Amino acid sequence: MNVSAILKLAASMAIFGSIGLFTVNAGIPAVELVFVRCICATLFLGGLWLLTGGHKTEAWNRKEVIQTLCCGVFLVLNWVFLFKAFLEMSISVAISIYNLAPIFVLILGAVFLRERVTIGNVMAIIVCFIGSIFIIGIENLNSIEAFMNSGFLWALLSAFCYAMTMFLSKTLKNLSPYATTFLQTIVGIVMLLPMCDFSVFHGLSAKNIFFILGTGIIHTGFVYYLFFDSIRHLPTIIVSVLTFLDPVVAILLDITILSFRWLQCLGILFIFGGILYTVLKPTSSLESRKKKKLAQ
């Protein structure tokens, strides 16, 4: 096992877990914050791509480039919706709903790729749905206005857009992670530039500037470098498990400054229970089938 790669991935996920804390302290709206993030990622990862000479050996493919640009649209929307959710609801609740993305990928795979869905998968989806209701609170379902103000919709949209990013990128094989991210963040800059209100950057405190640059340089540039440099050396199951460090750190940071209702805690447990089953069960089933074939 590549210990260095494990440590890099664990570090990237742990650092990324603090992005909610940085977002709420940045002092600017979600669109402008994501715009800064796209610029930082483009400069940081694009620079690494050039310095390492990866651009010289890049295997460009027109179909994959178009597919990557489409992924970029959903990736940027995912960031915008997630940051808006952080501003509307607690970080723990937002990140829990955001991590419903693997469930959406499962549903998309079943609908469009005709991938097999088991009874266990259906039960996991139901458990996650119940968990979502516990998290948002029954009282917030009494009116459309209360539901919209809860931030639940933004978190759910971010999860769906993240799922679409993963779903569309499943068949990308030739483009390197650096080229993929470079193209996607360029899409983000082009998308968000007309929407940005640059007046929000006036009058910011030193604290605000620190958190804004931290979101761009640390959480996007540095974290993505660690992430891309590690996942290619690790099996899928290790990557799947270590990515849960992100929500764990986010929730632990949030719990230290906010209090929760027991029903929300139960909802979080329901969601992560369903997600863990969805992520880990296919691997264990595949291994058991392999053992049966070998036994025969």
| Tens digits of residue pLDDT in 80-136 | 999 999 888 878 778 777 877 777 777 777 777 677 777 777 777 677 667 766 655
Q: Are 103 and 167 in contact (CB under 8 A)?
A: no
Using the structure block, give the residue that is written with the tokens 């664990």: 10
- From residue 276, alpha-carbon distances to 103, 169, 263 in Å are 10, 21, 20
Residues, the chain: 296
pLDDT at 295: 44
User: What pLDDT digit, counting tens, does each position of 159-192 carry?
Assistant: 899 888 878 877 777 888 888 888 989 999 999 9
For 226, residues 6+ apart whose C-beta sits below 8 A from its C-beta are 8, 9, 11, 12, 15
- Per-residue pLDDT tens over the stretch 4-56: 888 888 888 889 888 888 998 999 999 999 999 999 989 988 888 888 888 88
CA distance 106 to 122: 10
pLDDT band at 282 (very low <50, low <70, confident <90, very high): low
Question: Based on the number of CB atoms within 10 Å of its own CB, is 291 exposed (0-12), middle (13-18) or buried (19 or more)?
Answer: exposed
Q: DSSP letters along 207-249, please?
A: HHHHHHHIIIIIIIIIHHHHHHHHHTTS-HHHHHHHTTHHHHH
d(C-alpha 163, C-alpha 5), whole Å: 25
Whether 265 contacts 36, CB under 8 Å: no
This prediction has a pTM of: 0.78
Q: What is the mean pLDDT of the segment spanning 50-64?
A: 87
Task: Return the pLDDT at 103.
Answer: 74
The whole-angstrom separation of Cα 245 and Cα 230 is: 15
- pLDDT bin (cut points 50, 70, 90) of residue 66 is very high
CB 181 within 8 A of CB 69: no
Secondary structure (3-state) at 54: helix
pLDDT at 148: 58
Tokens found for residue 253: 């940071």
Q: What pLDDT is recorded for position 248?
A: 73
Residues of the chain with pLDDT > 70, as a percent, come to 76
Mean pLDDT of the chain, nearest integer:
79
The tokens for 80 are 């915008």
pLDDT at 269: 74
Q: Of 226, 254, 280, 256, whose CA–CA distance to 95 is shortest?
A: 254
Rounded Cα–Cα distance for residues 227 and 223 (Å): 6
Alpha-carbon distance of 223 to 8, in angstroms, equals: 9
Higher pLDDT, residue 242 or 159: 159
89: its two tokens: 């609801």
pLDDT of residue 284: 47
In this structure, are residues 86 and 148 in contact, taking their beta carbons and an 8 Å threshold?
no
Phi-psi domain of 186 (left: phi exceeds 0; alpha: psi -120 through 50; beta: other): alpha
**Quick one: pLDDT at residue 198?**
93
> Tokens standing for 77?
């929307």
